Amino acid sequence: MRTIGEFSLKEIDELSYFDYFASIGGATLHPGGPLTTIEVLHHVALSPDELLLEVGCGTGATTLLLLKSGFNIRSCDINPRMVAATENRCQKEGYLFFHPDLASSEQLPYEDNTFRVVLLEAVFGFIKDFERAFRELKRVLKPNGYLAFVDMHYKSTPPSGVVEELGKIFGNPLPVLYEADWFTIFQKLRKIHWNTYDYPRGNYGKINDHLLQEKLKSEIPDEEKREEVFRALLNKFGVYESALNRNRQYLKYHVGIWQLINKDEVQ
Ligand SMILES: C[S@@+](CC[C@H](N)C(=O)[O-])C[C@H]1O[C@@H](n2cnc3c(N)ncnc32)[C@H](O)[C@@H]1O
């Protein structure tokens, strides 16, 4: 897999949203960052002998937080660059035996009834076949297990063009879902926790400039080229950030947790 130092400036500009973040690593790509993850952990009360699955681990921010906190976890992502980014990040921090899986929510490589908690942070809107994924998520969950989401929803009808603009940025037309839609989707499960937040300025996909420079130093020996790449990466990030900031009045984010009771009835 090519490193960012091997891309031309034009290629950097054309990187897809996910390939961009996978290449720079280190970012948290869900709203609220570690604080919303901690909110989930608080409500699911997972013990160290129980398993949690993170679907759509991205560059591994939450995976690392969970490993550092001593939880017993598995992580997977549909994008091989993301899997590599998570693996590298965990290896660097000393978790040498942790290997995220290359897998999609629609086809999970895990046994039935394995996990007490399945967590998806900013993944729901990217899933192509949610019915199939929902069946899989329920299949791998233990009876009475928890399905937890950190995600965004629309708080008011967005003016025309907004959905298209965000869809273009994410490389995927995100579904227009309101709070009530989330409740409808999971109506057969028991709602354990639901908390919403206004979309704050610049609180999405934060990147750490210092870590990024450190990474570039190891990949691009030539200082001039390195600075050019650094600027190109920051500019690209600015495009994502400004689109979200401009449209934040239509958005909210939430932490939602549902429990899978009567597992046989909701298959
Ligand atoms: C916005 S990122 C969020 C990453 C991470 N959860 C975080 O909060 O930093 C969405 C991630 O979901 C992954 N993804 C998209 N569709 C998926 C699917 N059907 N199954 C598994 N992962 C998926 C993408 O590759 C990407 O890494």
Residue 31 near ligand 1, beta carbon < 6 Å: no
pLDDT greater than 70 at residue 5:
yes
Contacts of 42 (CB under 8 A, 6+ apart): none
Ligand 1 centre distance from Cα of residue 54 (Å): 10
In the three-class reduction of DSSP (H, G, I as helix; E, B as strand; rest coil), residue 74 is classed as: strand
For residues 234-252, one letter each, b for 16 or more C-beta atoms within 10 angstroms of the residue's C-beta and e for the rest, the string is eebbeebbebbbebbebbb
Tell me if 122 CB under 6 Å of ligand 1: yes
Question: Which letter does DSSP use for residue 205 in this model?
Answer: S
Mean pLDDT of the 127-149 span = 97
Going by pLDDT thresholds of 50, 70 and 90, the confidence category of residue 245 is confident
Spacing, Cα 234 to ligand 1 middle (Å): 21
231-241 average pLDDT score: 88
User: Which has the minimum average pLDDT: 23-37, 42-56, 70-84, 106-120?
Assistant: 23-37
Pinpoint the alpha helices (H) of 4-70.
9-14, 17-24, 34-44, 61-68
H or E segment and range at residue 183: helix 179-185
Percent of the chain at pLDDT > 70 equals 97
- What's phi and psi for 199, nearest 5 deg? -80, 110
Q: Which of 225, 106, 75, 110 is nearest to 85 (CA)?
A: 75
DSSP 3-state of 142: strand
Rg (CA), the chain: 19
pLDDT of residue 127: 96
pLDDT tens figures, 203-217: 555 667 787 888 899
pTM: 0.93
Q: Which atom of ligand 1 is nearest to the CA of 120?
A: 6
CB neighbourhood size of 135 (10 A): 14
pLDDT of amino acid 202: 65
Q: Which tens digits make up the pLDDT trace of 85-131?
A: 999 999 999 999 999 999 999 999 999 999 999 999 999 999 999 99
Is 219 within 8 Å of 123 (Cβ atoms)? Answer: no
Q: Where along the chain do its domains lie?
A: 4-261
Neighbours of 205 (CB within 10 A): 21
| CB distance 216 to 5 below 8 Å | yes
List of E strands, the chain: 51-55, 72-77, 101-102, 115-121, 141-154, 190-198, 251-259
Token duo for residue 183 = 């409740």
Which class would CATH give 4-261? alpha beta
Which atom belonging to ligand 1 lies closest to the Cα atom of 27?
9
**164 CB-contact burial (10 Å; exposed 0-12 / middle 13-18 / buried 19+):** exposed
Widest pairwise Cα distance in the chain: 62
CB atoms within 10 A of CB 100: 22
Task: Kindly give the distance from the C-alpha atom of residue 86 to the centroid of ligand 1, in angstroms, as a whole number.
Answer: 12
Q: How confident is the model at residue 155 (pLDDT cuts 50, 70, 90)?
A: very high
